[in-house]
Amino acid sequence: KVDNTHKETEMDSEQLHSTLKNILMLIKNHQSAWPFQKPVDKNEAPDYLDHIRFPMDLKTMSERLKNRYYCNKRLFIADMNRIFTNCRAYNQPDTDYYKCANSLEKFFQSKMKESNLWD
Ligand SMILES: COc1cccc2onc(N)c12
């Protein structure tokens, strides 16, 4: 017999999708999101893929959302966190990119907590 008493507190698939869609929209419209809208361009950072094995960006996340890849909150959190950790791995702490990552990460975590979706 499977215990599904916790079900009442979990979101159904449609509610999760719409909640993640709203959070991603808020993130994309944030003033610190500009470095992360699209994959890092190799013309801007020719050695980027020498350092970063799993690139991620907000456009890719939008595509994954539309394709129903984010069937649970952990997959969404993992991709969003990778945007921030990639940025802090490639850039120095005193750069605008690094500061945008920290600022956007704070905003992201606040939205996830508000939605009762934080880990
Ligand atoms: C436009 O974004 C970039 C341009 C060049 C290097 C970069 O590292 N991480 C970034 N988001 C980035």
Rounded to an integer, the average pLDDT of 22-37 is 99
30-75 confidence digits (pLDDT tens): 999 999 999 999 999 999 999 999 999 999 999 999 999 999 999 9
Sequential DSSP letters for the chain: ----GGGGGSPPHHHHHHHHHHHHHHHHTSTT-GGGSSPPPTTT-TTHHHH-SS---HHHHHHHHHTT--SSHHHHHHHHHHHHHHHHHHS-TTSHHHHHHHHHHHHHHHHHHHTT---
Nearest CA to ligand 1 atom 7: 40
98-110 confidence digits (pLDDT tens): 999 999 999 999 9
> Is ipTM > 0.90 here?
yes
Cα gap 108→61, rounded to integer Å? 14
Query: How far away, in angstroms, is 39 Cα from ligand 1 center?
Result: 8
Confidence of residue 1 (pLDDT cuts 50, 70, 90): confident
Site to probe by mutation for ligand 1, drawn from 30, 40, 86 as the one with most ligand atoms within 8 Å of Cβ, is: 40
Does the CB atom of residue 91 touch ligand 1 within 6 A?
Answer: yes
Rounded to an integer, the average pLDDT of 91-100 is 98
Cα gap 22→49, rounded to integer Å? 30
The predicted structure's pLDDT at residue 5: 62
Look up the pTM and report it: 0.93
